A and B are shown apart, each in its own frame.
Chain A
Amino acid sequence: MLARLGLDEGERERFGAQLEAILDHISKLQQVDTSDVSEMAQVGELVNVMRDDVREPCLGAERALSNAPAGDGRHFVVGAIQENELDG
């Protein structure tokens, strides 16, 4: 559910077996001694890169919405978020 993929029964079975094999393969990682090692999230030396807080040109609503499957000219439009909205 975290992946937000609506899989059918066949996919569940197929992916289940494949992912099990992959997880089995990558589990050899557990044998590596990392007791004194810190984790690495990125390779660069850069930290907290900021830009000046000044306004810059931006896309604007029309271009930002130009690829939207549904929009009203100013907003992206989506379906019901709460189940009770479905009836309304």
Chain B
Amino acid sequence: MSSTASTITALAASLRDGSSSPRELLAQTLAHIDATNTRTHAYLRTTRELAERQADAAARTLRANPESAPPMCGIPVALKDVLCVDGVETTASSRVLGGFTPPYTGTAVQRLFDAGAVCVGKTNCDEFAMGSSNENSAFGPVGNPWDVERVPGGSSGGSAASVAAGDVPCALGSDTGGSIRQPASLCGVVGFKPTYGRVSRYGLIAFASSLDQIGPFARSVEDAAIVYSTIAGHDPRDSTSDPRAVDDPLLRLRDGVAGMRLGVPKEYFGMGIDPGVREAVEAALRVLEGLGATLHHVSLPSTEVGLSTYYIIAPAECSSNLARYDGVRFGLRVEHPALIDMYLRTRDQGFGPEVKRRVMLGTYALSSGYYDAYYRKAQKVRTLIADEFTRVFADVDALVSPTSPTAAFPMGDRDDPISMYMCDVVTLPVNLAGLPGISVPCGFAGGLPVGLQVIAPRFEDSRVFRVAHAYEQATEWHRARSPLAEAAA
């Protein structure tokens, strides 16, 4: 069986009934990547040697304990290039980290490896995960498998495109303002951002530390839940990692939505939403109603200032996090006899324009004269945004909305920064409040995929999966294959 058409659950069965092996699956995956990557440029590099070692180890585990081996055992995965893997070049799609080879593996990735997953490569993304179209990568843009002239979304564009192109059944990305959910929506796959604190950020190259979370892309909600439960859980190496036990999202996955109260935030249907997207999402709401959920109009009035809040807090944190790229300990150094000039030249030549904009915006917002007016103000509005969610969740079990106001747009279409920032207008409030959210395919607009976003209270990650799974199983959208996946199959 080819991984092209498959889910983790189907592949796990084939690895146990002897119809496939980790080595076979790996060979098919790498051949598939060879066929698609010239069109998508989803991979910055493949990791054949590491993958072969992991596939052989997985084969031994499956032979010894076929029943007790974890579901991820022998399953090919792709990793966004902001995730550190010991001995594998990791660049965050930035020139400033060209040639950087981490001396350690991050926790989320290590948990996947411990479960027997096979790492096939590192995926392209916006530089330091800053962007919504993958056009900010220093190593070239990514083509959307539904139309390679269009963007896959971002910043985890390569991971989303790889799953949509049928290369791998799942991939990891990171989500700071929508960077998993928005590309999942634009590429027609499932993308999940966990509750802040559920997945360790140790070994994730930091963008905005109070917002970043690692999460999965997959072809089904169940698969996303399998990957999530593999990587979630407390890690003493991340001081923001929550010590509470993680409930198994698979236990109540099939409980359905009958009797559930679902909130529809009216502000999420404004914000420049495309009519085709609105139509698809409204149809999805009727499906959920048909499954026994009740819909309730709710209001999150601070949504309008969410974007402004985010574009102070995220750049402020980024300007601090990116201060470490100074040509001293790792990555690029542009030589100059004076240290200060070495810093200036290294950072000027190492960073791309969007990273520079955000570093400048962040240092400005944090500078003594403007701290109160920008950073402190944004932190207060963040409280208002989080409180609005809390109030709404007193009345409804989950929220449903579009993931992105538009479907995939043509490359080069959004050359002014603010129009690009608008891509994340209904995903970034979820990060500001630290909530779990998912995007699940819910139809097409002009032949391009549309995603339905489901949001739940903090630590109710299982509820997100349950609502999304109920919707997915009642529709056929998740079975649709991109033209590129069909052609390469």
Which A residues contact B (CB, under 8 angstroms)? 2-8, 11, 15, 18-19, 21-23, 25-30, 32, 34, 37-44, 46, 49, 51, 59, 63-64, 66-70, 76, 78-81, 83, 86
The interface residues of chain A lying within 8 Å CB-to-CB of B359 are 3, 5
Task: Please determine whether B312 and A26 come into contact, CB atoms closer than 8 angstroms.
Answer: yes
- A34-B104 contact, Cβ under 8 Å, with A3-B360, A25-B418, A43-B433: no
> When each residue 275-310 of chain B gets 1 if its CB lies under 8 Å from chain A and 0 otherwise, what string results?
000000000000000000000000000101101110
The interface residues of chain B lying within 8 Å CB-to-CB of A63 are 103
Task: Please determine whether A80 and B379 come into contact, CB atoms closer than 8 angstroms.
Answer: no
Task: Please determine whether A19 and B434 come into contact, CB atoms closer than 8 angstroms.
Answer: no
Residue of B nearest to A6 (CB): B344
Least CB distance from B100 to A in Å reads: 6
The interface residues of chain A lying within 8 Å CB-to-CB of B434 are 43-44
A-B pairs with lowest CB-CB distance, top 7: A43-B434, A6-B344, A39-B379, A69-B333, A67-B330, A26-B308, A34-B380
Task: Please determine whether A67 and B239 come into contact, CB atoms closer than 8 angstroms.
Answer: no
Contact of A46 among B242, B302, B386 (CB under 8 A): B242
- State whether the Cβ of B16 lies closer than 8 Å to any Cβ in chain A: no
Residue of A nearest to B103 (CB): A63
Residue of A nearest to B308 (CB): A26
CA distance A35 to B339 in the complex (A): 44
Size class of the contact patch on chain B: 35 or more
The interface residues of chain B lying within 8 Å CB-to-CB of A81 are 339
Binds A, one of B115-123, B216-224, B321-329, B448-456: B321-329
CA distance A50 to B351 in the complex (A): 34
Residue of B nearest to A77 (CB): B328
Residue of B nearest to A33 (CB): B384
Binds A, one of B142-150, B370-378, B397-405: B370-378
Task: Please determine whether B330 and A68 come into contact, CB atoms closer than 8 angstroms.
Answer: yes
- State whether the Cβ of B61 lies closer than 8 Å to any Cβ in chain A: no
Task: Please determine whether B347 and A46 come into contact, CB atoms closer than 8 angstroms.
Answer: no
CA distance A36 to B353 in the complex (A): 38
Task: Please determine whether A44 and B197 come into contact, CB atoms closer than 8 angstroms.
Answer: yes
Least CB distance from A16 to B in Å reads: 10
The interface residues of chain B lying within 8 Å CB-to-CB of A49 are 239-240
Task: Please determine whether A69 and B328 come into contact, CB atoms closer than 8 angstroms.
Answer: yes
CA distance A22 to B382 in the complex (A): 19
Least CB distance from A88 to B in Å reads: 11
The interface residues of chain B lying within 8 Å CB-to-CB of A34 are 377, 380-381, 383-384
Chain B residues 170 to 202 lying within 8 A of chain A, measured CB to CB, are: 196-197
Task: Please determine whether B367 and A2 come into contact, CB atoms closer than 8 angstroms.
Answer: yes
The interface residues of chain B lying within 8 Å CB-to-CB of A21 are 416-418
Task: Please determine whether B210 and A42 come into contact, CB atoms closer than 8 angstroms.
Answer: yes
Chain B residues 61 to 79 lying within 8 A of chain A, measured CB to CB, are: none
CA distance A39 to B472 in the complex (A): 39
The interface residues of chain A lying within 8 Å CB-to-CB of B356 are 3, 5, 7, 11, 15
Contact of A59 among B103, B242, B327, B330 (CB under 8 A): B103
Residue of A nearest to B86 (CB): A63
- State whether the Cβ of B107 lies closer than 8 Å to any Cβ in chain A: no
The interface residues of chain A lying within 8 Å CB-to-CB of B351 are 5
Task: Please determine whether B380 and A38 come into contact, CB atoms closer than 8 angstroms.
Answer: yes
